[in-house]
Amino acid sequence: MSTINLPLNLTVRVHPVVLFQIVDAYERRNADSERVIGTLLGKKRNGNAPVPTGTAVSKHNHNLVPVSLRVGSVDKGVVEVTNCFCLPHKEHSDQVEAELGYAIDLYESNQRVNASENIVGWWASGHEVTNHSSVIHEYYARECANPVHLTLDTSLTGARMGIKAYVCVSLGVPGGKSGCMFTPINVEVTSYEPEIVGLQLCMKTIGMQSNPNVPRTVSPMLDLAQVTDASDKLLALLSDVLAYVDDVLNAKQQPENTVGRALLDLIHSVPNMSGDQFAQMFNSNVKDLLMVVTLSQLIKTQLQLNEKLTSLTSFLN
């Protein structure tokens, strides 16, 4: 069994889209499938990412069908994955079977869109490491250096969806038999700014299923409405900060050095400009936003008009 050479303080950072796609794959699984396995995609390390090869054979001789690949980046003790897809497979008592051509086609298609991705491990649904995990992990240890195993508890054990990540560590005595052990490592959920907007929109659906009178769909907010909502949240946060400062000045609350340093950094990060300069900058950005919205509406109108004219021409002919 190949083992890991990285320190155990390795951190795995997973983007929300990966978690959503894993849950979707689990919900769409076959009735006879207990878990799903798939490929994670992300940034590319130095070198070319290998493509899965092989066939399904017995697990007792430690030969394995490529079930899934996990693609991402390893940088300064951090493994980051940003996308994934599911690979149909079947697990038996003595072997693991998977559709190899499906994995190759999807991986090559993704390489055409984003070539800066590489293999860093594999994922599976469930809350624990199974008997097949060591065999699957051995395959990925041959496909990439120091693979990481990620599990997502889709069964909601403990009323929450737990995320765990593992690395394989060697065990044994010199000159004797050796084995391996899956050791947990840190795992975090990270987001790009567009993903944060999507998460905030998804949070508005919480509680809708318990209330049948509330529609279960949520429409995205308009750009100006998002600016208004963000301004209201900013004002609320500023009010909390001002209340804290007033309490500290009036000796109603003990000051915190960490909070004071954070407020000082925040003040220094604000550009030094007058009210008129800020208003001019804000109005300029608003005008740019309104221009983009107007152009989008014009393009939409032209497309609709072109569609109607095309339908009319086809009808007349």
Are residues 197 and 221 in contact, defined by beta-carbon separation less than 8 angstroms? Answer: no
pLDDT (tens digit per residue) in 177-213? 777 888 999 999 998 888 888 888 888 777 666 666 7
CA dist 21 and 68 (Å) reads 14
Are residues 141 and 120 in contact, defined by beta-carbon separation less than 8 angstroms? Answer: no
Listed in order, strand segments (DSSP E) in 173-225 are 178-189
166: nearest Cα among 3, 302, 1, 296: 3
Q: What torsion do the CA atoms of 190, 193, 199, 201 make, to the nearest 10 degrees?
A: 180
CA dist 179 and 312 (Å) reads 72
pLDDT (tens digit per residue) in 251-306? 898 989 998 899 888 888 888 888 888 888 888 888 888 899 899 999 999 999 98
Task: Measure CA 161 to chain center.
Answer: 14
pLDDT (tens digit per residue) in 82-131? 888 888 888 888 888 878 788 788 888 888 888 888 777 888 998 888 88
With a threshold of 0.75, does the pTM exceed it? Answer: no
- What the block records as the tokens of 6 is 């990285």
Cross-strand pairs, 39: 85
